[in-house]
Amino acid sequence: MKLLKHSALGIMAAAVAVTGVAATADAQYFKGKRVNIIINYGAGGNTDIQGRMVMRHMKKYIKGKPRLVFRHVSGAGGVVGANFLGEAGKKNGTMMGVFTIPIMAQVMKTPELRVDLSAFHYVGAIGQQTIGHIRKDAIPGKTIKTYKDLIANESHPIRTGGHGPTSSKDLRTRLLFQAMKIPLKHVTGYKSGGKIRAAILKNELDMTADSLAGYYGRVVAQLIKPGISVPIWHIGTPGPNNSILHSPTVPKNIPSFQAVYEAKFGKGARPDRMTWDAIRTIGASREMLRILVFRKGTDPKAVAEMRAAWDKTMLDKAFLADYRKVNGSDFDGKSGAAAQKYVKSIVNVPKDLEKFLLDYANAARG
């Protein structure tokens, strides 16, 4: 497995002019300035963990050496922070978002998201899988050791947590459990993955899923090694012939959702088309989970300078080693140009799928 994984598109795009950004980097642009880094989830969560790690390495390549100040603007599964940057963010380059992209809100065209995510100026992006994990004692009278113990459960509701009805975490959790015909009791509104993990530690919740950053950075130490929880599955990567493949960034002993589904219902089995298409759409969004962005209309010189710094960071050996340590996987990154193109390719889905997802999210609002 290669330490640095880029698509050919990502490599080429880093070397050419970027869509919407005609300026070149300005060595003095950020001199003496303070750049506010907006994190769209709460402190201690997965986005916070990864965002701070990324910026710790990236800052050494930002010419002018600006001071970076982190600010958390959380809520509604990352939508509040995205709205804040898109509507109130400064255009002089002194405010940049390091987000978990609330992509499903745009896919569904929910009214909560008032900004166009594809209109942001993308500095770069990181793809990352999520690993689902569950308390071993989630089912009374049974010790859960593998996914086989979970999928045999058809009577006891599993308590799960999320961030908001339109967030990928909530949609993914509910869709996977529905497809597997496993009862669940889902509670939403948690500000960060850290808050959900705390609820699991207090035995208020049984199961959630964390990005690789959260899983290896927090879950393993807090829940797996102490013997409280075990990993169950990861969503996987959409592949050919309507499949969801095992992600190369996840250990082989943590199966893809498709493998778990087929273990219960038979080789080649699938749930109904809309449910499966929704799951595959969410899986595709994992290819660009974290984004570094400026609001629309930001000074092109600021965007160009930050993109130049990100391109250098993606090749930095210390960053790659730190990423591997924190995330337990190889780095999968996109240049600003590649991210700008990819987001446009995933925000538009067929109208029937858009309606299905929106209706599904609205059903959870209660």
> For position 323, what pLDDT does the model report?
93
pLDDT in tens, 145-197: 999 999 999 899 999 999 989 889 999 999 999 999 999 999 999 988 889 99
Q: Which two tokens stand for residue 110?
A: 């929910």
Q: Which two tokens stand for residue 213?
A: 């950053």
Do both 94 and 18 map to the same domain? Answer: yes
Q: Is residue 323 part of a domain?
A: yes
Do both 188 and 108 map to the same domain? Answer: no
For residue 134, the number of C-alpha atoms closer than 13 Å in the C-beta half-sphere is 25
Q: Is residue 332 part of a domain?
A: yes
166, 25, 169, 24: which is closest to 104 by C-alpha?
166
Do both 52 and 102 map to the same domain? Answer: yes
Segments forming the whole domain that contains residue 90 = 4-128+286-361
Is there a contact between 23 and 294 (Cβ–Cβ < 8 Å)?
A: no
pLDDT in tens, 103-142: 999 999 999 999 999 999 999 999 999 999 999 999 999 9
Do both 301 and 170 map to the same domain? Answer: no
> For position 9, what pLDDT does the model report?
40
Q: Is residue 73 part of a domain?
A: yes
Q: Is residue 174 part of a domain?
A: yes
Average pLDDT over residues 308-322: 97
Q: Which two tokens stand for residue 257?
A: 């959702």
- Domain final position from 256, 284, 312: 284
Residue 104: in which H helix or E strand, if any? helix 103-107
How is 275-307 classified by DSSP, letter by letter?
HHHHHHHHHHHGGG-EEEEE-TT--HHHHHHHH
106, 77, 19, 79: which is closest to 348 by C-alpha?
106
Residues 6+ apart with CB under 8 A from 366: none
> For position 21, what pLDDT does the model report?
47
Average pLDDT over residues 42-69: 94
Residue 354: in which H helix or E strand, if any? helix 351-362
Whole-angstrom Cα distance, residue 70 to residue 59? 13
Is there a contact between 67 and 34 (Cβ–Cβ < 8 Å)?
A: yes
Backbone phi, psi, residue 364, to 5°: -90, -5
Do both 168 and 273 map to the same domain? Answer: yes
pLDDT in tens, 70-97: 999 999 889 999 999 999 999 999 999 9
The maximal CA–CA distance of the chain, rounded, in angstroms, is: 65
> For position 25, what pLDDT does the model report?
60
Residues 6+ apart with CB under 8 A from 254: 131, 231, 232, 233, 234
Do both 208 and 167 map to the same domain? Answer: yes
Residue-level length of the chain: 366
Do both 186 and 294 map to the same domain? Answer: no
pLDDT in tens, 15-38: 344 444 445 666 789 999 999 999
Q: Is residue 366 part of a domain?
A: no
Do both 165 and 224 map to the same domain? Answer: yes
Residue 331 clears pLDDT 50, i.e. is over it = yes
Do both 210 and 344 map to the same domain? Answer: no
- Domain final position from 265, 284, 303: 284
> For position 1, what pLDDT does the model report?
34
* CATH code of 183's domain: 3.40.190.10
* CATH code of 77's domain: 3.40.190.150
pLDDT in tens, 263-273: 999 999 999 99
User: Predicted confidence band at 229 (pLDDT cuts at 50, 70, 90)?
Assistant: very high
Q: Is residue 290 part of a domain?
A: yes
Residue 66 clears pLDDT 80, i.e. is over it = yes
For residue 21, the number of C-alpha atoms closer than 13 Å in the C-beta half-sphere is 31
State percent of the chain over pLDDT 90. 79
Do both 190 and 92 map to the same domain? Answer: no
Residues 6+ apart with CB under 8 A from 355: none
Whole-angstrom Cα distance, residue 311 to residue 220? 30
> For position 133, what pLDDT does the model report?
98
Residue 98: other Cβ atoms inside 10 A: 26
> For position 23, what pLDDT does the model report?
54
- Domain final position from 284, 317, 340: 284
Do both 135 and 118 map to the same domain? Answer: no
Q: Which two tokens stand for residue 26?
A: 């300005």
Do both 180 and 89 map to the same domain? Answer: no
The count of structural domains within the chain is 2
Q: Is residue 145 part of a domain?
A: yes
Q: Is residue 88 part of a domain?
A: yes
Q: Give, to the nearest 10 degrees, the angle between helix 273-285 and helix 336-346.
A: 170
Average pLDDT, the chain: 91
